[in-house]
Amino acid sequence: MEYKNGLEDLYILKDNKKLRYGYTTGSCAAAAAKAATLMLLCKTEVHYVDLMTPKGIRLNLKILDIIMEEDSVTCAVQKDSGDDPDVTNGIMVYAKVSKNEEGTVCIDGGIGVGRVTKAGLEQPKGNAAINRVPRQMITDAVMEVCDENDYASGINVEIIIPQGVEIAKRTFNPNLGIVGGISVLGTSGIVEPMSEAALIESIRVEMKMAVANGAEYLLLSPGNYGADFTKENLSIPNVQSIKFSNYVGEAIDIANELGVKGILFISHIGKFIKVAGGIMNTHSKYADARMEILAANAVLAGASIHTLEEILKCVTTDEALAILELSGITEKTMEHVVEKIKHYLNRRAYESMEIGAIIFSNEYGILGQTENAKELLRCLENCTE
């Protein structure tokens, strides 16, 4: 039989490049469980298996590493993430199945599948980190085989991902309270290349976990710069900085949904100068306007035409800050910038929470902060006591 995974003609165009779709660890686990169950009941090897994903795309996946024993069958499916930069691409996802007398499909995780240790995640504490949709996919796939073969008793399914132990060290799982391996994920069964929805969902998961473990105030930064600056310059060592990438607006929306009392953003000016212009996704493909926004606020601080011309020629915000320094208007300019940032953050939050920001540069340190930043820092400190 020719191997076709059902995704040959599916792609998205990004920056004039065709990017392939892939399939999730959940699809791999369900397909492996289906094939293993079929081999357990029919006593014959299966080398390909069909799987209908929740997205409505049918996959035909190759079955690898088959081990048929008297009371169990183990086999694997290799993950293909398409052109998505996924650390799990190429890993082997195994399912080991055996019969039980309970009449149900019992799913658990083995080596390389994480175990939940904190509240606030999709699975309760103590469960294997196999999310709801993959669990349903595994159950449906196994039950389909059982029904076709008139088997009325139950099936035990153990999902095993040998490489998961090492891969987990390069993910957010340890911070989220998932230990010993990776999560089996996927709400559609399909990996969309460079999916923004997946990135936003990862932010949601981390924020939800923080709230479930008692956090009423959250510290957010775009990435490593903000997290490192917080660690080195602010006295809140036990507060975990949640990275929101470019998704300022979505992070605020999620915090609203979760009933968060307050957010403190700590960001390099290169990102957050855009927020002073009402830009809630700071990725350059959506908007730039860094120099235009900085120049507009410099006008309010009394900048000369020559200063504005020089700012508008700059490529980086650090270059522009050097010009403001020479003109002696950095502090006044940043007062206006911070005022506008606070305005747009509050507008996105519908005034429903306390929200503030601290803006810095690597060369000049803290450039400005909203008037409530110190109080938010105190609230964050109190959360760790």
Average pLDDT, consecutive stretches of 10 residues, N- to C-terminus, the chain (385 residues): 58 70 95 98 96 93 96 97 85 97 95 89 90 96 97 96 93 81 91 76 88 92 80 72 92 96 94 96 86 97 97 90 96 97 96 95 92 92 67
Residue 137 and residue 54 in contact, taking contact as beta carbons nearer than 8 Å: yes
For the domain with range 11-191, which CATH number is right: 3.40.50.300, 3.30.1330.40, 3.30.2110.10, 3.50.50.60? Answer: 3.30.2110.10
> Rounded to whole angstroms, how far apart are CA atoms 291 and 299?
12
pLDDT of residue 3: 47
Alpha helices in the chain (DSSP H): 25-42, 132-148, 164-167, 173-176, 196-212, 224-233, 248-257, 269-272, 290-300, 305-312, 317-327, 330-349, 373-383
Single-letter code of the amino acid located at 267: S
Ordered by start, the domain boundaries in the chain are 11-191, 203-383
Which of 28, 40, 37 has its CA nearest to residue 64? 28
Q: How far apart are CA 149 and CA 42, in angstroms?
A: 8
Type of residue found at 229: F
CB contact at 8 A, 22 and 191: yes
How large is the C-alpha radius of gyration of the chain? 25
SS3 268: strand
Which residues are CB-neighbours of 350 under 8 A, at least 6 positions away? Answer: 256
**Residue type for 203, please?**
I
Pairing verdict, β 112-113 and 181-182: parallel
Instruction: Give the pLDDT confidence score for residue 13 in this predicted structure.
Output: 65
> Are residues 180 and 165 in contact, defined by beta-carbon separation less than 8 angstroms?
yes
Residue 1: what pLDDT? 39
Type of residue numbered 265 = F
CA 23 vs CA 18, 81, 142, 163, 349: distances in Å: 17, 6, 19, 18, 35
Give residue 195's pLDDT. Answer: 64
